Amino acid sequence: MNGPRDPGIELFRVAGVQIAIDWSWLVIFLLVLWSLAAGYFPRAYPGYGRPAYLGIGAAATCLFFASVLLHELAHAVVGNRLGERVRRITLFVFGGMAHLSGEPATARTELRIAAVGPLTSLVLAGVFWGGSRAAAATQTTPLVVAMLEYLAAINLALALFNLLPGFPLDGGRILRSVLWMRSKDLRQATARAADWGVGIAFGLIGLGVVSIFGGSLVGGLWLVFIGMFLRGAARTSYENVVVTRALGGARVRDVMITDPVTVPADASVEEAVESGFLRHGFGGFPVSEGGRVAGLVSLRDVLHCPAADRRRRRVRDVMQPLGPELAIPARASVGDALRRMTDAQVGRLLVTDDGHVVGLVTRTGIVRFVQFRTELERS
């Protein structure tokens, strides 16, 4: 899968791609480890001690998530080779996500990027299965053979699940690429692939409910959660395409605020609240110091400052200093601005031109721009 998510905890870089984990990943890692070390292996292969089960469970869990990472890394490597920037992969509770810089340029490009993920999982399934046969032939301990067989099965399941023709799963992206090639209309192809995604999501939710009533509470709830996530992701992905189409070739300079209200860096946080947030009703402001813009202060920054300290602490103490992640060139596309806001988890960016701050672009302003343009196109 691909799309925007919280940057998470950065780990390392591979082939120029930043690998990160979302906090939710820790939950699923521990859940998988517990289910293998305390459930699957002891039931299937009794007679070993707890340390043996814990060790083989930990090894299987790490190799499983390494397989997920390789699946996503395959998307990233192929995407970068085809000119689609993929700079980050995030592992989270429902698997992994490669962050594409935007929609693929052509249907064939999307087909190649989408197909390589399931293909990688199928290859890994074959490798682990071959390893299990080789281990069994050399009379390796049955727990190791069992681990390799499990990894072969889970990679096969990962490939088949991702091949379901529901957007934004890999199968849904393959479906969209085919529809796109036929219709030459990305929005229409996305709408149809997203409908498939919603249909599959409801199917998973229904299957989960049946499983719950059949006595499989944990497995049923997991299917329900996956279905709910897929349903939301399908609709969000379609909305992103609609927004991108509505933005057209709009640049940041077209939607930015050219003379934004600022707050001084040496003002107290309490003064910023009274004269800035409450007076103007904005969610954030550029911070001025010495005749230049020094950073941004948002309502979230203020809320992180205890109420008892707001009279004593200065705005410079709580603001986000001006840096590359908070600034964007005026010539950049509005789509790039939205992606930058998502990655930095902010609602506004400072706009620069030749190294000078010339304005402010906000998520609210972009949404309003899209709404107006969409309504005007419909009239």
pLDDT at 160: 92
pLDDT at 266: 92
| pLDDT-flagged residues of the chain (< 50) | 3-6
CA 242, 248, 253, 256: dihedral to nearest 10 degrees? -20
The tokens 């199928």 sit on which residue?
Answer: 122
| Phi and psi angles of residue 260, each rounded to the nearest 5 degrees, phi first | -70, 155
The reply to whether 72 belongs to the active site is yes
User: Is 326:293 a contact under the CB 8 Å cutoff?
Assistant: no
pLDDT at 94: 66
Per domain, the residue ranges of the chain are 9-246, 252-378
The one-letter amino acid code at 154 reads I
| Phi and psi angles of residue 101, each rounded to the nearest 5 degrees, phi first | -70, -15
Assign residue 326 a region: left if phi > 0, alpha if psi is -120 to 50, beta otherwise? alpha
| Phi and psi angles of residue 87, each rounded to the nearest 5 degrees, phi first | -105, -10
Question: Using one digit for the tens of pLDDT, what is the confidence trace for 104-116?
Answer: 778 899 899 999 9
Question: Using one digit for the tens of pLDDT, what is the confidence trace for 19-49?
Answer: 888 777 888 888 888 888 888 888 888 888 8
Among 41, 61, 59, which Cα is nearest to 50's? Answer: 41
CA distance 152 to 129: 5
Question: Using one digit for the tens of pLDDT, what is the confidence trace for 48-97?
Answer: 888 898 999 999 999 998 999 999 899 888 888 888 777 778 877 667 77
pLDDT at 378: 65
Instruction: Please tell me which residue in 72, 84, 103, 149 is annotated as part of the active site.
Output: 72
Q: Does domain 252-378 have CATH number 3.10.580.10?
A: yes
User: Is 3:237 a contact under the CB 8 Å cutoff?
Assistant: yes
pTM of the model: 0.69
> What are 320's two structure tokens?
């986000």
The tokens 């070390």 sit on which residue?
Answer: 37
pLDDT at 5: 43
CA 341, 344, 347, 353: dihedral to nearest 10 degrees? -60
pLDDT at 264: 92
Give CA separation, 61 vs 26, 88, 138, 356, in Å.
Answer: 12, 22, 24, 49
Query: 121 by DSSP, 3-state: which?
Result: helix
Among 51, 26, 27, 23, which Cα is nearest to 37's? Answer: 51
Q: Angle at Cα 38 formed by Cα 33 and Cα 42, nearest 5°?
A: 120
User: Is 189:183 a contact under the CB 8 Å cutoff?
Assistant: yes
Q: At what angle do helices 50-81 and 107-137 cross, to 10 degrees?
A: 150
CA distance 230 to 194: 10
CA distance 114 to 100: 12
In the chain the first and final C-alpha atoms are separated, in Å, by: 36
pLDDT at 224: 86
